[in-house]
């Protein structure tokens, strides 16, 4: 498709006066985006589908992963994503932004800093806003990601699990599966405090 067939909008979610920017939204509206991927005429090279680091299905229409790169774009196309929730403050790379444009995917960016104790420092209003986007089926299929798909993504998914009435031990077990050796006791206690604040 041609560049001029897209209308790119950048908007900030409504917030009370004096509050910090919580979410940056980039919408890529394609005039006609064909989300159909025809695998029947593909060669073996075309079928080299590589998921991003720490990719998993969270629920119907909800996926999680680490930061996708160009090697993952073919795989992501098979998901027919409507939205991506990006939990890092760093700007989205140009190649990824072009991928979003070509596939008509909306990006919601929450600039959550990475700390040694990340969950303690995630504001409850930021998590609530991100959860609102995850729960809104108009954004599905949606991919949630941060850099490695571990701590920030794990916190948001953990909050979703609480809303789904998972017991805390199951929430922490899932978190540890993705955080692996980097899971820290402070992460879990911090996640627990975030989980309690979302009610």
- Is residue 112 within 8 Å of 88, Cβ to Cβ? yes
**Residue 155 annotated to the active site:** no
What is the three-class DSSP state of 9?
strand
DSSP codes, 43-98: -TTTT---PPTT-EEEETTEEEES---GGGHHHHHHHT-SEEEE--SSPPPHHHHH
From residue 199, how far is each of 79, 124, 128, 156, 183 by CA, in Å? 31, 10, 9, 14, 25
Residue 163 parent element (H or E): helix 151-163
Q: What is the CA radius of gyration of the chain?
A: 17
Q: What is the C-alpha to C-alpha distance for residues 194 and 199, in angstroms, rounded to an integer?
A: 9
- Of the residues 146, 155, 159, 192, only one is catalytic, namely 146
All residues at 6 or more sequence positions from 176 whose CB lies less than 8 Å from its CB, including other chains: 183
The residues assigned a catalytic role are 146
């Amino acid at each position: 498709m041609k560049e001029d067939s897209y209308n790119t909008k950048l908007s900030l979610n409504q917030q009370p006066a004096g509050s910090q920017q919580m979410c940056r939204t980039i919408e890529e509206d394609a005039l006609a985006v064909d989300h159909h991927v025809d695998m029947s005429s593909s060669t073996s090279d075309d079928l080299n589908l590589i998921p991003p680091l720490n990719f998993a299905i969270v629920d119907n229409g909800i996926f999680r992963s680490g930061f996708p790169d160009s090697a993952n774009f073919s795989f992501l196309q098979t998901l027919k994503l409507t939205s991506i929730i990006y939990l890092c403050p760093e700007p989205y790379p140009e190649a990824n932004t072009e991928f979003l444009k070509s596939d008509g995917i909306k990006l919601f960016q929450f600039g959550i800093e990475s700390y040694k104790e990340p969950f303690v420092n995630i504001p409850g209003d930021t998590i609530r806003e991100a959860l609102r986007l995850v729960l809104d089926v108009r954004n599905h299929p949606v991919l949630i990601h941060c850099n490695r798909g571990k701590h920030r993504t794990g916190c948001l998914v953990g909050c979703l699990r609480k809303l789904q009435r998972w017991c805390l031990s199951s929430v922490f077990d899932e978190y540890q599966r993705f955080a692996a050796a980097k899971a820290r006791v402070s992460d879990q206690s911090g996640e627990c405090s975030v989980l309690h604040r979302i009610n």
